[in-house]
Structure 1
């Protein structure tokens, strides 16, 4: 009594297909699938950047420095 049978779900599916049309439902599915793929790729890229060694990626090494670090370049004094 509390649950919906397979026939109820089939009727709901037919009504949704009649309202939106199969082409629009297919486009929504493709858009949703593309968004999920993009999200997964972004998460994988972010994880790869976080686990990459600092020597291989100098931009990450600079970000790792804390706020109290002063980055300077030493030069020899020349008389001019």
Structure 2
């Protein structure tokens, strides 16, 4: 149904049918965004805010949530993709 998506997946997994190639690449990009962009921005601009990264998430205190959400929004604006954020 989606030949361009299928072709992209086949290109990423060109070394064989190992589907972990694509998932590893996606996880690398996710961690790069969270650690190198969002967390780095928070540490540089808001050193007073507690942040703890875990995979594709940032944990913070209740008072830090608005600042963390703002940092995620800025990162997604920068790369030009819409954002879906789970705040729990």
The answer to which structure, 1 or 2, has the higher relative contact order (CA under 8 A, 6+ apart) is 2
Regarding TM over 0.5, the answer is no
TM-score, structure 1 as length reference:
0.41
Bigger share in strand: 2
- Computing the radius of gyration from Cα coordinates, the structure with the larger value is 1
